[in-house]
């Protein structure tokens, strides 16, 4: 009888163990699959590449579920409708793709951790301790290094900028330019209407016109006057992305958007493991894609170094 009682006890404890294990399974699933909300500013290929890169890297890190994607479709009027549903139950964190999404979450979602991407001047938004992410711009050192590779005899660079948006960037760039023996001629403008006159003031005075992320200066509306100035005066323009190169700029440093998503995932996994966002530095894109327009180079009688051409990601003939 004693053996029967012992066997029954073992069976009982085994059953209890099974019940305990079963009851813990949802908790474990929740721990490895936290709710992450991806908010994209608009539906376009670069934004989709960021999302796909993020999802793939999160899956590789063990987070395959609990990720939801919402789009603002480029309309600020959609912000309230999309974010209202998260007022009662906050997600573990947000990934924002684009400025509209980043600003919306910072305004509407208080202290929820945010990993931001494709948002210019991201460092300026870090006044909120819940923000980190991957910046939009390459470092100034990388940009000036690219200029010198493209044009080894470069001595004078022009840049137009909005003081409200880019004064600090231009001040830092001026110091860096002096260190490498390049003169930076910076022209502030307040509105796009000033652009044609200010551009003409740079004619015959610069070797390269440098485009920086600036809502006043560089936009689809200002592309035509900038590129017309460039061709009329045979002054190459350093664009901001591959589409600018297709439109006629000499070259551009573009981003690997899928890899930006992977970078964001690496940061997100740290945040989900309880690392405070304000302790994680904003990092620049780590992969640089060089696009070159050889037709523009020939029209301006610019002979680009062959190693630069060979290293380019995209070469337009």
pLDDT classification of 19: cutoffs 50, 70, 90: very low
Quickly tell me which residue has 């209890």 as its tokens: 16
- The span from the CA of 292 to the CA of 120, in Å, is 23
Q: Which CATH topology does 140-255+288-316 take?
A: Rossmann fold (3.40.50)
| pLDDT exceeds 90 at position 243 | yes
4 Rama sector, left if φ>0, alpha if ψ -120 to 50, beta otherwise: alpha
pLDDT at 89: 86
* pLDDT at residue 27, as a whole number: 34
Topology match between the domains 31-137+256-279 and 140-255+288-316: yes
Give phi and psi for 216, each to the nearest 5. Answer: -80, -40
pLDDT, tens only, 206-223: 999 999 999 999 999 999
The pLDDT of residue 9 is 34
Q: Which CATH number fits domain 31-137+256-279: 3.50.50.60, 3.40.50.620, 1.20.120.80, 3.40.50.2300?
A: 3.40.50.2300
| Of 263 and 129, the one with more pLDDT | 263
State residue 110's pLDDT score.
74
In the chain, where are the structural domains located?
31-137+256-279, 140-255+288-316
């Amino acid at each position: 009888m004693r053996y029967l009682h012992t066997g029954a006890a073992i069976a009982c404890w085994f059953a209890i163990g099974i019940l305990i294990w079963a009851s813990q399974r949802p908790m474990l699933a929740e721990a490895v699959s936290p709710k992450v909300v991806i908010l994209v500013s608009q539906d376009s290929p670069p934004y989709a590449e960021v999302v796909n890169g993020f999802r793939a890297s999160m899956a590789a890190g063990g987070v395959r579920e609990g990720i939801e994607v919402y789009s603002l479709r480029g309309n600020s009027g959609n912000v309230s409708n999309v974010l209202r549903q998260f007022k009662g139950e906050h997600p573990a964190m947000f990934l924002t793709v684009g400025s509209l999404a980043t600003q919306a979450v910072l305004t509407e979602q208080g202290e929820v951790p945010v990993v931001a991407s494709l948002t210019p001047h991201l460092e300026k938004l870090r006044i909120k301790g819940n923000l980190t992410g991957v910046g939009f711009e390459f470092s100034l050192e990388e940009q000036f290094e690219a200029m010198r590779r493209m044009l080894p005899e470069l001595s004078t660079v022009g840049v137009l900028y909005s003081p409200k948006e880019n004064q600090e960037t231009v001040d830092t760039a001026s110091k860096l330019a002096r260190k490498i023996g390049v003169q930076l001629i910076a022209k502030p403008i307040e509105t796009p209407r000033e652009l044609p006159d200010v551009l003409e003031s740079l004619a015959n005075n610069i070797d390269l016109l440098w485009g920086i992320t600036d809502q006043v200066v560089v936009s689809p509306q200002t592309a035509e006057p900038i590129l017309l100035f460039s061709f009329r005066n045979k002054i190459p323009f350093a664009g901001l992305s591959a589409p600018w190169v297709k439109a006629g700029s000499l070259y551009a440093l573009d981003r690997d958007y899928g890899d930006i998503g992977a970078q964001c995932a690496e940061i997100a996994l740290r945040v989900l493991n309880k690392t405070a966002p304000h302790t994680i530095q904003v990092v620049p894109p780590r992969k640089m894609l060089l696009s070159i327009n050889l037709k523009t180079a020939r029209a301006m009688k610019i002979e680009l170094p062959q190693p630069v051409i060979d290293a380019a990601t995209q070469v337009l003939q």
